Structure 1
């Protein structure tokens, strides 16, 4: 990888509904804090992101979001093969170099359509798969954990408000390469650029 000057990118997906994740916060002694949610409306946001590292470059985060409004016909339930291909194309364009992709064994990552889409990009893309169920090896999992921790004390009223909150927090992460380096270091990899 270093000889090729390629970017090492770790991809993962996540999602969030209007029900906020559990989180820790401060409160008065003896008073358990509670975040009230209306329960009205539903929907979900689906996220796909890649943590990108290359020696001598700042670590980067590239992500895409799909907003699902419950009950709307024709909406995709999550990221599909062509969405992943578009994310990789955007990463290739933004990073300006070859990519070594590391991702999990999701069925969408290894079906016939995805193999065809990856083969069309073999000039600049090399793919490796993580072992079965190995989230501790993927730095992108740190992105989702950090995001859900930030969203834990917020109660969005609509799915669009939740999407905006998530987008704002992910944008902040993009400007914190040292945080992204920490996600890489947390996996035990020694990939963080000097």
Structure 2
């Protein structure tokens, strides 16, 4: 999540360019780790100042704790960001190999990852055509919206289970 404005579409008078205000300063950002259970619509998110192997491992621990009562294995679909493959994760993943398994998508194929649909929806609702003074204000808006989707729900189920066109 960053503090940059996203221009998607906007009605305006014919021949006049609409203006979206944006604070001109350094780019701020937070890394959000998230996963979604496409069967229940349940979403788990963790905010970090940086995305790296250490913070990703912390997130994996959060997911394991959240699903500590389930029998069977957690299968996570991931993109190929470098820290998802870090050597620092290997001892952790070996230790919990009966509880969690990571699957990596082919490069440049985020459409196959259900959490990407959730991120798309959240960005659309929070960022598109809206001037927000600071990243902290944007994060407050994110957590307000996200609080509606923490528990299992049909909207997220439907969002994640849209048919893929071939």
Contact 1:137 1:187 in 2 (8 A): no
Contact 1:85 1:118 in 2 (8 A): no
**Match for 1:63 among 39, 45, 50?**
45
Higher helix share: 2
Deviation track 1:58-104 (CA, whole Å, cap 9, x = no partner) reads: 2211011124xxxxxxxxxx211122222222222223323111212
Structure 1 runs, 4 residues or longer, greater than 6 Å off: none
Paired residue for 1:91? 63
Q: When the two structures are superposed, what TM-score results if normalisation uses the length of structure 1?
A: 0.71
Paired residue for 1:10? none
Q: Partners in 2 of 1:26 and 1:79 — Cα distance?
A: 37
Deviation track 1:138-170 (CA, whole Å, cap 9, x = no partner) reads: 011111111221111322212211221222222
Q: Partners in 1 of 2:75 and 2:51 — Cα distance?
A: 20
Paired residue for 2:9? 24
Higher strand share: 1
Deviation track 1:162-182 (CA, whole Å, cap 9, x = no partner) reads: 221222222233357222222
Root mean square deviation of aligned Cα: 2.3
How far is the alpha carbon of 1:49 from its aligned partner? 0.6
| Unaligned 5+ runs, structure 2 | none
| Unaligned 5+ runs, structure 1 | 1-15, 68-77, 189-194
